[in-house]
Amino acid sequence: MAQTTIPDKSVEKLTRGEGSADLGVTPGVDRAEKLADLGGTTMRLNGCAASAYAALFADVDVITAYPIRPYTAIMMNLAQFIADGLLDAEYLHADGEHAQISAALGAGSCGARAFTGSSGVGVTYAFEVYSPAAGARVPIQMAIADRTLDPPGDFGSEHTDALCTRDMGWLMGWAATPQEVFDKHLLGYAIGEDPRLLLPQMICQDGYFVSHISGDVELPSVEQVERFLPPYKLPFALDPKKPVSHGPQIHPEQGPPLQLERARSMEIALDIIREKTDEFSDVFGRTYPHFVEEFMLEDAEVVFVIQGGHAVTCQATVKRLRERGIKAGMARLLWFRPFPTEDLQKALSKAKVVGVVETNLGLGGASYGGILSLDITTALYHSPHNRPLVTSFMAGMGGETIPINEFSWMADKMVEAMERGAVEKASHWVGFEE
């Protein structure tokens, strides 16, 4: 299998089974000792390896795997950790993604910390299981490295795979760098497993742009992780000592209160995400905004709203636009579910034109473009602050890169709209228009 991994010593060695010697791992040696050696070190890891290391530090109990590129490398790394004795977990080779997520749900329902993941059509193959998992309030975690849905059979990153499950009740957010990937996995477990919440999480990263490009990742100490992430305890686990029934049938009149409770869980999640993000910063010393990363927004007139790895290029473009005298800025979404309506309204309160960068396909929607702008436009429509003009850009389709000149083109469109006082249209296809 051709790996597109950027040469990366540590990961390469691990995936080739040479990790044992390299990490000083001897089977049977106390796992804590091995992890202690890793703690506090900085490794060059790609996004997939960062995910695997996060699962290692989270001491997951059950891993369910099924191969599909590009997320597979996460599971390859974890398989090696187990083979080397670095991680003690059941590694379940599922017979498809539906079975894979179902098995993770079964494990999580019994009180085991379960880790799974997928990409592209693998994510959609398991679709049926997302709502039952969230409705069961079983906080399993799924790592997603985005891949375009078929057709046409494409490895590149588009966020459509995860985004089409956005209304199933999972927490969902994108990381832009391997370090953020690592951190978000721990943060995801801490948020999802909070007994006030109990929701499954999709921790997403762009395929290849993040999953297969290396960056420095600072690994925490075991003590830090234990402080931040207490052992998983499901209050209603399937345990013969305390029998419970999960998922019985209801009568229609019992539906409204149960659905209301599920809807409210997303509102509760907003507060818990804030709380845990602050706690994360206290414990690990790395600080993330709760929901929206604001870049040069103080006086920005034209603002990109974006999520995922393309934000790195977007930031570079914003700096260049500033040199050209264009007051540009960027708001990056760290979580898409629950949608940070208030935080985004506030972040965009001074913007004149907002341009949503869609790296997803939302066929036939209200904007005839992508998915993100639908939520963002709704949030802004109800904004108690200033209501900016909104347009959106279909860019990076099929996993194509979005170069600086394309971001600049988008900025020009936003400047035109600002001068005109109206947007040309709700959605532009970048590269196909003047």
Partner 1 sequence: MSQEVVRQHLPLFEEQGRSATVPDEVGRNLHYLPDMPKEDPYQAGHRTCAGCGPAIQYRWVLKAAGQNTVVAGPTGCMYVANATYMSTPYTVPWAHTQIASGGSFTSGMAAAYESMIRKGKYKGEYPNILVMAGDGSAADIGIGAISGALYRNHDALFICYDNECYANTGIQTSPTTPYGGSTTFTPPGKVIPEGKKLPPKNLAKMMSEGHPNCYVATTTVGYTIDLMNKTRKGLNHRGAAFLHCYTPCQKGWVYQTPMTVELGRRVVESGLFPVWEYDPEERKYEYFIPPEQRPVVDYLAMQGRFGHLHPEHVALLQVAANRNWEDMGADVPKRLRELEDPEAHKHLKEEEYSLPVNRGIGA
Candidates 73-81, 110-118, 391-399, 424-432: pick the segment binding partner 1 (CB under 8 A): 110-118
How far lies 253's CA from each of 1, 66, 249, 250, 262, in Å? 53, 39, 12, 8, 16
Q: Which stretch binds partner 1 (CB under 8 A): 88-96, 150-158, 262-270, 341-349?
A: 88-96
CA distance 210 to 216: 12
Tell me if 252 contacts partner 1 by CB under 8 A.
no
Q: Judged by CB, which is closer to partner 1: 260, or 366? A: 260
DSSP 149: P
The stretch near partner 1 (CB under 8 A) out of 61-69, 192-200, 261-269, 302-310 is 61-69
Of the residues 52, 89, 198, 273, which one makes contact with partner 1 according to CB under 8 A:
89
260 in contact with partner 1 (CB under 8 A): no
* Interface segment toward partner 1; rule CB under 8 A; list 50-58, 59-67, 162-170, 292-300: 59-67
Could you tell me the two tokens for 79?
A: 């398989």
Q: Contacting partner 1 (CB under 8 A), which of 151, 152, 245, 252?
A: 245
CB of 29 to partner 1, least distance (A): 10
Residue 294's DSSP bridge partners are: 331
Instruction: Kindly write out the interface string for residues 212-231 of this chain, putting x where it contacts partner 1 by CB under 8 A and - elsewhere.
Output: -------------------x
Among 83, 238, 312, 426, binds partner 1 (CB under 8 A): 238
When the beta carbons of 244 and 263 are compared against partner 1, the nearer one is 244
Out of 19, 47, 70, 106, the only residue in the binding site for partner 1 (CB under 8 A) is 106
| 283 counts as binding partner 1 under rule CB under 8 A | no
Q: Which of 51, 64, 72, 77 binds partner 1 (CB under 8 A)?
A: 64
> Beta strands 201-205 and 141-145: pairing type?
parallel
- Please answer whether residues 240 and 154 qualify as being in contact, where contact means their C-beta atoms are separated by less than 8 angstroms: no
Q: What is the CA radius of gyration of the chain?
A: 22
Nearer to partner 1, 106 or 122 (CB): 106
Whole-angstrom Cα distance, residue 233 to residue 419? 56
Tokens in use for 149? 């849905």
Contact flag: residue 250 with partner 1 (CB under 8 A): yes
Residue 219 backbone phi and psi in degrees, to 5:
-90, 140
**Least Cβ distance, residue 134 to partner 1 (angstroms):** 13
Where would I find the beta strands (DSSP E) of 153-233? 171-175, 201-205, 215-218
The reply on whether position 107 binds partner 1 by CB under 8 A is: yes
Is 235 an interacting residue with respect to partner 1 (CB under 8 A)? no
- Judge whether 101 and 116 are in contact, CB under 8 Å: yes
Looking at residue 231, its amino acid is P
- Whole-number Å distance between alpha carbons of 331 and 126: 31
Nearer to partner 1, 114 or 219 (CB): 114
- Told to check if 37 binds partner 1 by CB under 8 A, we report no
Sign of CA dihedral 316, 317, 320, 326: negative
Interaction residues for partner 1, span 12-31 (CB under 8 A)? 30-31
289 membership: H or E segment, kind and range: none
From candidates 46, 72, 102, 141, binder to partner 1 by CB under 8 A:
102
Report whether the peptide linkage leading into residue 230 is cis, meaning its omega lies within 30 degrees of zero.
no
For residue 152, is the peptide bond before it cis, meaning its omega torsion is within 30 degrees of 0? yes
Is position 65 an interface residue for partner 1 (rule: CB under 8 A)? no
Check residue 163 for interaction with partner 1 (CB under 8 A).
no
Separation between Cα atoms, residue 374 and residue 363, nearest integer Å: 12
Residue 295 pairs in a beta bridge with 330
Shortest distance in whole angstroms from residue 245 CB to partner 1: 4
Helix (H, G, I), strand (E, B) or coil at 77: helix
Given 18, 22, 37, 95, the residue binding partner 1 (CB under 8 A) = 95
Say if strands 292-295 and 171-175 run parallel, antiparallel, or are unpaired. unpaired
**151, 241, 267, 432: residue in contact with partner 1 (rule CB under 8 A):** 241
Q: Does 121 bind partner 1 (CB under 8 A)?
A: no
From residue 77, how far is each of 56, 81, 393 by CA, in Å?
A: 10, 6, 36
**Chain length of the chain:** 434
- 61 or 194, CB closer to partner 1? 61
Would you tell me which residues interact with partner 1 (CB under 8 A)? 30-31, 61-62, 64, 88-90, 92-96, 98-100, 102-112, 114, 128-129, 132, 136, 231, 237-251, 254
